[in-house]
A = this chain, B = another copy of it.
Amino acid sequence: MRNVTKDNITDVFKGYLVDDMPPRTREIMAALVQHLHDFARETNLTHDEWRQGIEFLEGCAAIESEDRHEFVLASDVLGLSSLVDMLHSRDDATSSSVLGPFHVSGAPALDVGGDMKRNFGGPVLLAEGVIKDTDGNPIAGAEIDIWQTAPNGLYASQDEEQDTFSFHGLMNVGDDGRYAFTTVKPVEYTVPTDGPVGAILDACGRHPWRPSHLHYIVKAPGYRTLVTEIFPDDDPYLDQDTVFGVRNDLVMTYHTKQAADFPEGMALSGKVTESFLSVKFDVVLAKE
């Protein structure tokens, strides 16, 4: 188009898309550019503001590495990651929540009833539940990949004091679908704020905190893989998670119990001498 104008440029862009391109690519590109252009037109975006946007992307690029995923973090704090999760959540299954940047593949096997706490201090947390289908039947042989922060608020990948798989475990459940493990209660923490995403949070007057959570990836053959998190209902950041990950069905009470009530058959059975915390959380998977 020779005479491109601010009013026709979006149609000119769509006119450049060839007839035989994949329909889904066409749909995505047309919608992306429609919204990009509408955003610029509605805000009457200036050259200086455009330049700030480019500098934001270039600033993310400058620190992007295998251990630092600033573009993912941007998606997280703008709510896009959570929105994509929710668009593909099923109403009849446990809600999904953000994967985040701290999952590590290859976690060591953790037996049902096993312990992730090791030598770390703090009261024992016993987490248990059943992995079920949407009819309430246990899913035999489901796999649950568990990770969380240490008591210092750091994930293993952030912390030189912890080994690679500290507070990571991979559990295969039996015919009863039941999982159970001991750990310490995870703590709230901040997303990284020393990059361009931190500057965005700052410009918006937003804090960088996430409520504490246990993070699970739950898989079983024939079922949709679920990435989710369990939040304690007394966390101060439940109503203001900086990555928008909290859903009502993922908020649980962590009950305080007496040592005498600690169950048999756990790695720590007989070794818990003080009160402990207990959380029960059943996971419902939808069929593929």
Which residues of A pack against B, CB within 8 Å?
1-6, 9-10, 12-13, 16-18, 20-22, 25-29, 31-33, 35-47, 49-50, 54, 57-58, 60-62, 64, 69, 71-72, 75, 78-88, 200, 203-206, 238-242, 244-248, 251
Contacts and interface: CB of A to CB of B under 8 A. Distances in A.
B6 A79 contact: no
A5 B87 CA distance: 9
Contacts of A247: 3-4
Contact of A82 (B9, B49, B88): B9
This chain: how many copies in the complex? 2
B83 A18 contact: no
Given A47-B88, A78-B13, A83 B40 contact: yes
B244 A9 contact: yes
A42 B87 CA distance: 10
Contacts of A81: 50
A195 to B, nearest CB: 12
A4 to B, nearest CB: 5
Contacts of A18: 204-206
A39 B36 CA distance: 9
B31 A78 contact: no
Nearest to A243: B4
A36 B6 contact: no
Contacts of A12: 79, 244
Nearest to A231: B2
Contacts of A87: 6, 40-41, 44-45
